[in-house]
Amino acid sequence: MLDGSPAVRRELEKFELARIFITDPKIEALAAKQNARMTKQFKTTAIPLHVVLAPDGKELARFDYQGPFSTPEDYVKFLRDGMAKFEKR
């Protein structure tokens, strides 16, 4: 996983992290609500979906996860791009 990289971990420390669970059968009703929210807000239910959001919910950056083809360097770039857009606000 990308978050095992020391460079990724350093960048992630700058963010407040949140998860939306859309597939957990133990919380089916909540998962359905989260799925609907994800579809409305992000126009996708693709998982995993990694986005950087501003406090107002505006999407600043989205990571196009490519499985084994995604590199820690790609992820660090995504995080830095998101942070740069946040700092310009």
> Does the structure show a pLDDT above 60 at 1?
no
What SS3 class is residue 39? helix
Sign, CA dihedral 5-8-14-17, equals negative
pTM of the complete model beyond 0.85: no
CB 17 within 8 A of CB 3: no
pLDDT digits (tens, 9 = 90+) for 43-67: 998 888 899 999 999 999 999 888 8
For the chain, the average pLDDT equals 89
CB 2 within 8 A of CB 73: no
